[in-house]
């Protein structure tokens, strides 16, 4: 069995089918990106993986466990970490205190220092999290996930609101996490420059299903994908 298997997942909201017979396999240690226009079901898919929502049909299998319908806390304990679009940090605490809490006080100082260095915040460790710039808050939340020692990280638009420099730094950070620590990563994003910099397999979602899968250079040339998504995304990024 593969590391993460999504098998014929379906989720309806009234008469709307947000996820429609969705099937995808993610191998352990891989980095993958999921793109698609707003409303195509990307965030709903993450909610199905993490137990926020229960599918109407299909299965979610992770580490040889059928986790379909499991509660979120049980899925998290199995090693699934998720970052939402808006950073969820303790703004009244220092950066280091945030990481200690995320690690449930089990990580030693050296381990926390390693995470601080990785997210480029070690020089600001005693700064209140609420005083950080937007991009730094996003990096801190990624650090909070790392402190929980996940084997799979789901990132929902991790570069939203970032500058171009912050976006590139975030792509580098995610690539290092995947390459150096072997953590499996699945990213939802709209920024095509960011996706290109990740240089990873890309899955294009439309109307609750996978439309195309492949590498960035090939997917970008696909006429159907360009008509659906890339032209729109590039126009937005050029605006």
pLDDT tens digits, 21-36: 999 999 999 999 998 8
Residue 185 CB neighbours (<10 A): 24
d(CA 176, CA 118): 9
d(CA 19, CA 184): 23
Q: What's the mean pLDDT in 70-95?
A: 92
Residues facing residue 94 across a β-bridge? 128
CA distances from 39 to 16, 207, 208 (A): 11, 8, 9
Q: What's the mean pLDDT in 73-102?
A: 92
Q: What is the pLDDT of residue 98?
A: 95
Q: Which is more confident, 41 or 179?
A: 179
Q: What is the pLDDT of residue 231?
A: 53
- Number of DSSP helices (H) and strands (E) in the chain, helices first: 10, 10
Helix (H) or strand (E) holding 234: helix 231-238
Confidence of residue 236 (pLDDT cuts 50, 70, 90): very low
Q: What is the pLDDT of residue 230?
A: 55
Q: How high is the mean pLDDT of the chain?
A: 89
List the 57-62 sheet strands across, edge first.
16-26, 4-13, 57-62, 65-66
Q: What is the pLDDT of residue 39?
A: 79
| Global pTM value | 0.89
pLDDT tens digits, residue range 200-230? 999 999 889 998 999 888 888 888 887 776 5
Query: What is the phi/psi pair of residue 212, to 5°?
Result: -150, 150
pLDDT over 50 (residue 155)? yes
Domain ranges of the chain: 29-55+68-79+150-239, 87-149
Q: Which is more confident, 67 or 15?
A: 67
d(CA 211, CA 226): 12
Which of these ranges, 50-59, 69-78, 208-217, 227-236, has the smallest mean pLDDT? 227-236
Two tokens at 51?
Answer: 């137990």
Burial of 1 (0-12, 13-18, 19+ CB in 10 A): exposed
d(CA 163, CA 182): 27
Q: What's the mean pLDDT in 172-193?
A: 93
Which residues contact residue 11 at a Cβ distance below 8 angstroms, ignoring those fewer than 6 apart? 17, 18, 19, 41, 44, 48, 53, 55, 56, 208
pLDDT over 50 (residue 238)? no
Query: Does CATH number 3.40.50.720 belong to domain 29-55+68-79+150-239?
Result: no
Q: How does 95-126 read in b/e, with b if 16+ C-beta sit within 10 Å?
A: bbbbbbebbeeebeeeebeebbebbebeebbe
Q: What is the DSSP string of 94-127?
A: BHHHHHHHHTTT-S-HHHHHHHHHHTT-GGGTTS
Confidence of residue 234 (pLDDT cuts 50, 70, 90): very low
Confidence of residue 1 (pLDDT cuts 50, 70, 90): low
Residue 23 CB neighbours (<10 A): 13
Confidence of residue 235 (pLDDT cuts 50, 70, 90): very low
Q: Distance of alpha carbon 225 from its chain centroid, rounded? A: 22
Q: What's the mean pLDDT in 46-59?
A: 96
């Amino acid at each position: 069995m593969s590391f993460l298997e999504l098998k014929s997942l379906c989720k309806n909201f009234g008469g709307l089918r947000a996820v429609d017979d969705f099937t995808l396999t993610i191998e352990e240690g891989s980095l993958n990106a999921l793109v698609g226009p707003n409303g195509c079901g990307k965030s709903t898919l993450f909610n199905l993986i993490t137990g926020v929502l229960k599918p109407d049909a299909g299965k979610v299998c992770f580490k040889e466990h059928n986790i379909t319908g499991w509660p979120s806390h049980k899925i998290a304990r199995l090693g699934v970490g998720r970052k939402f679009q808006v950073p969820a940090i303790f703004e009244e605490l220092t950066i280091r205190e945030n990481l200690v809490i995320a690690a449930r006080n089990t990580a030693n100082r050296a381990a926390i220092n390693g995470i601080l260095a990785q997210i480029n915040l070690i020089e600001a460790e005693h700064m209140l999290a609420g005083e950080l710039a937007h991009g730094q808050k996003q990096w801190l939340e990624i650090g909070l996930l790392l402190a929980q020692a996940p084997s799979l990280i789901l990132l929902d638009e991790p570069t939203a609101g970032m500058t171009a420099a912050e976006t590139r730094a975030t792509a580098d950070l995610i690539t290092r996490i995947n390459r150096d620590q072997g953590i499996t990563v699945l990213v939802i994003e709209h920024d095509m420059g960011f996706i290109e910099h990740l240089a990873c397999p890309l899955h294009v979602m439309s109307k609750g299903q996978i439309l195309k899968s492949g590498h960035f250079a090939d997917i970008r040339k696909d006429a159907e994908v360009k008509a659906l998504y890339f032209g729109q995304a590039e126009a937005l990024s050029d605006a």
